[in-house]
Amino acid sequence: MERIAVIDFETTGITPSSHCRATEIAVVILERGQIVDRYQSLMNAGVRVPGFIEQLTGISNAMLRSAPPAERVMNEVNEFVGTTPLMAHNAAFDQKFWDFELGLIRRTRLQKFACSLLLARRLMPSAPNHKLGTLNAYAQLPHTGQAHRALADAEMAANLTAHLAQELRRTHGLRELSHDLLCTLQKVPAAKINEHLKKHRGF
């Protein structure tokens, strides 16, 4: 499978705005099923972290005071990612923040997001649930560190993506995988996924 950038944000809330911003970002580069590069940084957007978010993530207002400005971090991470296709677990969330934070530095996303959550719902239907930590434990993937920190979650999502790619090859007989195919599969109704995959066997 081609090079993919697996991304994760920690934030002060669920919807980006002038009062709800990213506090940390991590990107893990996945190539041929292996993690080959990483980027991680806290980012100071000048907003206060609510107490319950601090308890969830461990990211405090004191930590952010000494963090680099969000604009600098987004410029760096945008250069790091370039035009590499994007992936995230629950990508709808991370895509919103990626687009919002890029917009503040007058940049526009050029590539699509694939979603490991949507793919796991279709390819791992017997999992107890489709939370990232649950899926990694269910698939017996490596423990990557503290949940709700960007790098640990991005590495978990990258390992899960590699596992899903293996499942598509081993269980469904797909030889060639692409980011475009993953983006297509995540939109196929779960009940029709096996029928859809039959069309791609041998390719």
CATH of the domain at 51: 3.30.420.10
Structural domain range at position 187: 1-197
Would residue 16 count as lying in a domain?
A: yes
Provide the pLDDT for residue 201.
Answer: 72
Nearest to 144, CA basis, from 163, 159, 129 = 159
Phi and psi torsions of 30, nearest 5°:
-110, 130
The model carries a pTM of: 0.95
Q: Who's near 109: CB < 8 A, 6+ residues apart?
A: 86, 95, 98, 99, 102
5 with 182: CB under 8 angstroms?
A: no
Would residue 43 count as lying in a domain?
A: yes
Q: Who's near 55: CB < 8 A, 6+ residues apart?
A: none
Q: Could you give the number of structural domains in the chain?
A: 1
In this structure, the chain runs to a length of 203
Provide the pLDDT for residue 148.
Answer: 87
- The pLDDT tens digits along the chain (203 residues) read 889 999 999 999 999 999 999 999 999 999 999 999 999 999 999 999 999 999 999 999 999 999 999 999 999 999 999 999 999 999 999 999 999 999 999 999 999 999 999 999 999 999 999 999 999 999 999 989 888 899 999 999 999 999 999 999 998 889 889 999 999 999 999 999 988 898 877 55
Give bridge partners of residue 4 from the DSSP assignment: 30
Would residue 203 count as lying in a domain?
A: no
